Amino acid sequence: MEGPLAPLPTPYGEESGFGAKNERALSRMIARRDAGRRFWTWLSSIRTTSEIRLTLPAIATVSCAVLLVGWEHSSIEVSIGLFTVISILYVPTNMASWFSSMVARDRLSLNVEGHKSKGSYPGSERIISTLRDRVVRERLRLISAILGGASLYVVLRLNPGTVLAPSLMASGAFFGTVCILNSLRLEGSMPMRSNDFTLLSLHAPTLHDSILKSVLTDSLKAHLDPETSDLWDEWMDSLEFSVRTGQTPRTAVEHVLQSIHWEQRGIIDRNRLISEVKTVFKIAATDSLFDGSNKFNASSLSKLLAHTRAWEPGLFRLLDRLHDYVAGPQGEDFEKWRLDLDLPPRCSEGQGELFVML
């Protein structure tokens, strides 16, 4: 009689390392994509290359127009050379946008080792769609530059005749115009240039509490991209046993952000900032906060606070006026209650932010 059959392999079982190996391989692939993003973004951001990518399409378009007019000093070889150089210059930006789009999808959508999906965070879909639109525009202007050069090359080599040649030259001018229009849209900013907060520049805050309890903390949190917001929540949870007695992570971080804001205004120096941090955090946590290797430290918090101020200057104007009022002379006419508001004199796109502080 035959013995019991051996159990079938379970590659997806909990005790199997099959899934873990796949996740590690996927994590390595994500790391390679991020390395590619950093390289191509650096190559695309070399000094003056952005200006060159804006200028050359205009020159190429004008040269095509001159060819149509039939100016005796015009040169079709020069026009072809311009479109060739433009095509070469568009390759790094195409690669940068392609890698950036993949990295954003990896960081916001994948559930693998070291990553978790952030699709529930507001702004995730907008970031991915923005990068996808950039990839389309980058490919469009690269293809336009190639087609512009190809149409002029046909005129040079195949001698299409007096009827077709002007049409090909006009098409070269048209493709050059397409390059110009897309360059004006794309060269204004290069996304994901920062390696500290990669997606922060792509995030436009859409949700904001009407009443802010911890003003700077809540406002800063609302302006973080999904990836940084998730890391921020983890960092806040890790501070549970790092604060001094009578403090909570939220109140301690609020005090630190206020102190950093005072340092940015020049009211206190770095030594006073360290002293203020020590009043709410324990020694080990204070050292960690001034350690540049940590994700959230005094320097990175200062950058995030400056980012928040750029989005909501009215809120910071209120805080500055309140501080100046309290720090001033407090005579008999000093009021314990103060009502202040800030409304921008001009609202873009018919929308504005009204801040009221009591």
Take residue 48 and report the two structure tokens written for it.
């003056």
According to the model, what pLDDT value does residue 143 have? 96
Query: Reduced to 3 DSSP states, what percent helix, strand and coil does the chain have, rounded to the nearest 5?
Result: 65, 5, 35
Q: Where are the domains of the chain?
A: 18-190, 205-311, 313-327+336-358
Asked whether the predicted pLDDT for residue 332 surpasses 60, the reply is no
According to the model, what pLDDT value does residue 207 have? 59
Over the chain, what is the mean pLDDT?
A: 82
Asked whether the predicted pLDDT for residue 51 surpasses 60, the reply is yes
Give the span between the Cα atoms of 145 and 86, in whole angstroms.
7
CATH 1.25.10 fits 18-190, yes or no: no
Asked whether the predicted pLDDT for residue 213 surpasses 60, the reply is yes
Tell me the β-bridge partners of 357: 340
List, for residues 121-144, the tens digit of each pLDDT value. 677 788 888 899 999 999 999 999
- CB-based burial, 85-94: b 16+ in 10 Å, e otherwise: bbbebbebbb
List, for residues 138-170, the tens digit of each pLDDT value. 999 999 999 999 999 998 888 877 778 888 999
Cα four-point dihedral sign 119, 24, 293, 237: positive
Q: What percent of the chain has pLDDT over 90?
A: 29
Asked whether the predicted pLDDT for residue 316 surpasses 90, the reply is no
Give the span between the Cα atoms of 208 and 222, in whole angstroms.
6
Residue that the structure tokens 């209120």 belong to: 318
Q: Which of 90-99, 305-314, 316-325 ranks highest by mean pLDDT?
A: 90-99
List, for residues 16-42, the tens digit of each pLDDT value. 454 556 667 777 888 888 899 999 999
| pTM as predicted | 0.75
Give the span between the Cα atoms of 139 and 345, in whole angstroms.
40
Question: Looking at residues 244-261, what average pLDDT do you find?
Answer: 90
Give the span between the Cα atoms of 184 and 54, in whole angstroms.
7
